[in-house]
Amino acid sequence: MTEVYFVTDGCFGLFNKKMKTPSEPLSPFLVLPRHTVYGDYQILYDLHPTMDLRTISNFIFLENTTHKIKKEDQDCNEFVVMCLDAEKLRKICELYPETAKSIKYRSLDRRAYFLR
């Protein structure tokens, strides 16, 4: 991972890289609605991602997933993320160790939620 992604508009899906086959349609195993974060866990713990973050259409979301999402996110026609460079995040964590603890805790908490 080279950046942390902050979803500001639209829905993004997490897709398993290992499950890609030509005969199997790719559908997200998790939907990230706006106001969510992705990538901090991999950066903070120096891990290689096993997932792809991609925009998803409302059709894919409504037909192939069981995740609930707000109506305003379903109707969004734009997909917007803000990004924070991985090196900048690491420097912030070095400069502010107490803040780094909090960020790491939230990252682990979010990861546990994803795995559930």
pLDDT for 55? 77
pLDDT for 98? 95
74, 80, 42, 46 alpha-carbon torsion, rounded to 10° = 170
Looking at residue 7, which CATH number applies to its domain? 2.60.120.10
Number of structural domains the chain divides into: 1
Nearest CA among 11, 106, 7 for reference residue 68:
11
pLDDT for 89? 93
pLDDT for 59? 46
* Residues of the chain under the 50 pLDDT cut: 59, 61-62
Give the residue numbers spanning the domain of 45.
3-115
Nearest CA among 19, 15, 20 for reference residue 32:
15
Cβ(91)–Cβ(22) under 8 Å? no
pTM recorded for the entire structure: 0.70
